[in-house]
Amino acid sequence: MKTKIITLMAMIFLLGSHLVRADLVFDSGYNTFDDDDPYYAEVWVINDAHLDVLGGSMGKLELTDFATANLYDGQILSGLYIQDTTTVSIHGAAFDIFAAGEDSQAYLYAYDVTYHPTGGLGDEGWIEGTYYSNDTPFTFSFYTEASYSHINIVPEPCTLVLVVLGGLISRNHLHKTGNCNIILSALTTHETSKGGLL
């Protein structure tokens, strides 16, 4: 009887000292969250875990440590919170609040993106645009003004191809016409006259 009581007390002590931080925690490996998952008030992605959100609904999504996530669809009711060195790619999920800190980065795959430095939650600014993946318009507020500096807007793939193609054509044209040497010698002369090294 004493052994059972001591074992039970030890289990309560160990479980009680380990605080549960969220309803659902992904702490390693590749994971998915979709419409088949029940609603969770708070979902955390920690350590080196990766999460693909393919649909469904959750109250809050938080990433810490070295975690990564791709948001393709679904709804995050209370907001997206990233910190430490986490990375999130946003392709199409709906959420109202974005908070970021430390060295975390968010990659926003969208077009017609406009940043508004005033307004939104607590007058900390907000952003609007349209997702590439599904042409769905979105808006979300920033939890702090500094959160905007963690957003990286990714250009449309066709735009990148056109920029690279234009650069290659220009380079080829300059080499064929001999203007490349004229431009280089002009830059060398200009830098040398300023005392710079080229």
pLDDT by residue (tens digit) across 105-125? 999 999 999 999 999 988 999
**What is the 8-class DSSP label of residue 136?**
-
The residue ranges of every structural domain in the chain are 2-154, 159-193
Confidence of residue 159 (pLDDT cuts 50, 70, 90): low
Instruction: State yes or no: pLDDT of 71 exceeds 80.
Output: yes
| Model confidence at 156: pLDDT above 70 | yes
**What sign has the CA pseudo-torsion 48, 127, 143, 22?**
negative
Query: What is the four-CA torsion angle of 89, 91, 94, 98, rounded to 10 degrees?
Result: 30
Q: What is the mean pLDDT of residues 9-17?
A: 43
- Cβ-proximal residues to 21 (8 Å cutoff; 6+ apart), any chain: 42, 44
Q: Which residues contact 180 (CB under 8 A, 6 or more apart)?
A: 171, 174
Q: Where residue 16 falls among pLDDT bands split at 50, 70, 90?
A: very low
Note the residue count of the chain. Answer: 198
pLDDT above 60 (res 14) = no
Whole-number Å distance between alpha carbons of 64 and 50: 11
Take residue 40 and report the two structure tokens written for it.
């969770």
Q: Which residue has the higher pLDDT, 121 or 86?
A: 86
